[in-house]
Amino acid sequence: MTKIRINKFLAESGISSRRKSEEYILESRVAVNDNVITDLSFKVDSEKDIITLDGERVKPKRHIYILLNKPKGYITSVTDDRDRRTVLDLVQTQERIYPVGRLDYDTMGLLFLTNDGNFSQLLTHPGNKVPREYEVKLDKPIEEKDKLKLLNGIMLDGKPGKFIKISFPKPSDKKIITVICEEGRNRFVKRMFGRLRYTVLDLIRTGFAGIRLDLRPGKFRNLTPQEVQGIRTRYSH
């Protein structure tokens, strides 16, 4: 395990906010392996070190990594002020988790949920170029010239966007397309096709960060430790 700052460890363990954790440290209330620590930059290994606050051991939060096949009719949110169903209604867990990125209300497919902020940041940071794969159903067959435009890049919100790969699961049906992109902008796939006057009728995310969708709609599973480590290895810099 990579060492992290003591104040970050306390905050991620659910003890308090980062700022309040710093107060505890400066008040000499925190010890590591029976040694009082007042240095805010001190780093700990949560798998080896024994960290205590006021003599009570602080245990690291158990991180959860869930893969959900999101069906239509659910919003990608923890709560909703309009009382619509959220993706958390589909997942049975006592832990406080949240979605990694977003899928639209009527978009289906692979969605990660976690309580690990670093993992979420790794997947969503634009600089990491994490690939997303989608199966798209259009209102009409795509023309070759438009396919090339989407691969070469078109302007969206004043900045270029592109797909890095476009393929056809059924070569005879140009309305069903598989696209791969490294973008996480809001409604990116739909708006890319919309810029060229195509309407997306159905959209399913079938892959994310090298993980393939392998569940029926509405079902979920825990990512394996090997899958989580594989994602960290591929996209950590």
Of the candidates 11, 10, 20, 92, the residue with the CA atom closest to the CA atom of residue 56: 10
Among candidate residues 34, 83, 104, 146, the one labeled active-site is 104
Rounded CA-CA distance 144/128 in Å is 30
Structure tokens at 130: 């994490």
The single residue listed with the structure tokens 């363990």 is: 13
Integer-rounded Cα radius of gyration of the chain: 22
Active site residue 39: no
Query: How far, CA to CA in Å, does 93 sit from each of 45, 88, 90, 97, 211?
Result: 27, 9, 10, 8, 22
Of the candidates 93, 67, 77, 25, the residue with the CA atom closest to the CA atom of residue 212: 67
Phi first, then psi, for residue 53 (nearest 5°) are -125, 120
Of the candidates 93, 92, 110, the residue with the CA atom closest to the CA atom of residue 102: 110
Is beta strand 35-36 parallel, antiparallel or unpaired with respect to 211-212?
Answer: unpaired
Phi first, then psi, for residue 36 (nearest 5°) are -65, 135
Structure tokens at 197: 């006057």
Rounded CA-CA distance 223/225 in Å is 7
Number of other CB atoms surrounding residue 20 within 10 Å: 13
**Which positions are catalytic?**
104
